Amino acid sequence: MKNILVTGGAGFIGSALIRFLINNTSDCVLNLDKLTYAGNLESLQAIENNDRYSFVKADIRDYERVESLIHDFQPDFIMHLAAESHVDRSIDGPAEFISTNIVGTYTLLECARNYYQALSNERKSKFRFHHISTDEVYGDLDEDSKFREDSPYDPSSPYSASKASADHLVRAWQKTYGLPILLTNCSNNYGPYHFPEKLIPLMILNAMEGKPLPLYGDGKQVRDWLYVDDHVRALYQVVINGKVGETYNIGGSSEKQNIEVVRVICDHLNKLIEKKPSGIEDFNDLITFVQDRPGHDKRYAIDSSKINNELGWQPAESFDSGIKKTVEWYLKNQDWCNRVLDGSYQKQRLGLNE
Ligand code: NAD
Ligand code: DAU
């Protein structure tokens, strides 16, 4: 039984991770989350009354608070997911990304270092600081190659540059201070409880309302899609069995052009929704090409052979099965969607730097 501090546990991936930890392990979890627009405790309703789960509203940039929470909770692992995560928002307002993703990670590293240094040798040997990062740190790919753990960093957006900076800090804290770190860089996740500013949930919700489905540029950009529960199982494998200091790339081997993804969603909706919004016969007719995202990376693809071979992880979900489950989840959980769209965001276009 471990004590696991999860930062950002009210977000999309963090909440899936906590549901997994509570339902599948005997570990105790402390969820440290600031509850920004992207954090929703409702995503944790299924496990919120479990004795092994607790929540604290705190900001990773608040050194005194985080230090005291770590001291009281005595974590064996820190799994760090808290971040500003949306590329379009980083184009409109990079400051919060620099502050949360870089300064926040630095602050957490300092708290972890001070805590780690005071541990007994036995507890030191088992402690891990796991930074959950993104494949976007590697930048844009040509048609044939894939991101490997040793691919050079070449981030394109303020978001990906801030995550790249955080990755560098995490590695430096191991080299300089001996903090036992692990790093994972994952491709695009999708699944339940995904905030509706991201491509897949936005398209499902817009289609249900008969609104245009805005594809940036020509819609031919490629992303490698991974069902969120598969990502969570990979994170658990890495924190338990990963080698200290190592980086593991995680991907779904499911490369799709954005337009293909949106067409699959529309085809599912055509079958699942009997009463379509007025004037709509085929949801595909709602697809609309709009101005491209500035600095838009054309293609991401992940070589996951390291985590496959060394830790035996494979995705369980195919894109076909995962996207069907996801569309069905959004159709059944419109209340969750309405509540998270609290007024500050109404599915308007973001990221044009206007
Ligand atoms: P999300 O935006 O859904 O959730 C982020 C969470 O962090 C929210 O609950 C928010 O309240 C919290 N948070 C933000 N600032 C905070 C602060 N200063 N202090 C404490 N909590 C704060 O993000 P997500 O999609 O779940 O991503 C989680 C992590 O995984 C991020 O670090 C992201 O970079 C990384 N990642 C995401 C993907 C993806 O496809 N979504 C892929 C690879 C890596
Ligand atoms: O690759 C991992 C990253 O995936 C994570 O690190 C990020 O946190 C996560 O947000 C995601 O970033 P993307 O920018 O790839 O995700 P997004 O859902 O915003 O966009 C996916 C693709 O769809 C991208 O090529 C832009 C395009 N897009 C997006 C939106 C919101 C559209 O064409 N139209 C849209 O309305």
Please give the number of the atom of ligand 2 that sits closest to the Cα of 213: 36
Q: Residue 67 carries which side chain, given as an amino acid letter?
A: E
Q: Is 135 a catalytic residue?
A: yes
pLDDT for 144: 85
Among 6, 13, 88, 249, which residue has the most ligand 1 atoms within 8 Å of its CB, making it the best to mutate?
13
For residue 316, pLDDT over 90 is answered with yes
pLDDT digits (tens, 9 = 90+) for 263-315: 999 999 999 999 999 999 999 999 999 999 999 999 999 999 999 999 999 99
Ligand 2 in reach of 258 Cβ (< 6 A): yes
Domain edges within the chain: 3-191+227-253+296-317
7 CA distance to ligand 1 middle (Å): 9
160 lines ligand 2 (CB under 6 A): no
Confidence of residue 200 (pLDDT cuts 50, 70, 90): very high
Which pLDDT score is estimated for 342?
Answer: 75
**Residue-averaged pLDDT of the chain:** 97
pLDDT score at 343:
72
Kindly name the residue from 53, 115, 116, 159 that is annotated as catalytic: 159
Task: Say how many Å lie between the CA of residue 8 and the centre of ligand 1.
Answer: 6
Whole-number Å distance, alpha carbon 235 to ligand 1 midpoint, is 14
Amino acid residing at 221: Q
- Decide whether any atom of ligand 2 lies within 6 Å of the 256 Cβ: no
CB-neighbour burial class of residue 217 (10 A; exposed 0-12, middle 13-18, buried 19+): middle
Mean pLDDT of 65-82: 98
pLDDT at 145: 93
Strands (E), 204-321: 213-216, 222-227, 247-250, 255-257, 287-290
Catalytic residue check, 159: yes
In percent, how much of the chain has pLDDT > 90?
94
Is the pLDDT assigned to residue 129 strictly greater than 80?
yes
Q: Quickly state the pLDDT bin for 353 (edges 50, 70, 90).
A: confident
Question: Residue 301 has what pLDDT?
Answer: 96
- DSSP H helical segments within 59-198, as ranges? 63-73, 87-92, 95-97, 105-117, 121-126, 158-177
The strand pairing partners of 226, in sequence order, are: 189
| pLDDT one-digit tens code per residue, 8-45 | 999 999 999 999 999 999 999 999 999 999 999 999 99
pLDDT the model gives residue 222: 97
Mean pLDDT of 248-254: 97
The pLDDT value given to residue 286: 97
Q: Categorize the per-residue pLDDT at 344 as very low, low, confident or very high, splitting at 50, 70 and 90.
A: confident
In this structure, how many other beta carbons lie within 10 angstroms of the beta carbon of residue 171? 16
Bridge partners, 302 (sequence order): 147
From 157, 187, 258, 262, the mutation candidate for ligand 2 (largest count of ligand atoms within 8 A of CB) is 258
pLDDT of residue 354: 79
Measure 214 CA to ligand 1 centroid, in angstroms: 24
Kindly indicate the confidence band of residue 197, based on its pLDDT and cuts at 50, 70 and 90. very high
Top CATH class, 3-191+227-253+296-317: alpha beta
Q: Is 63 a catalytic residue?
A: no
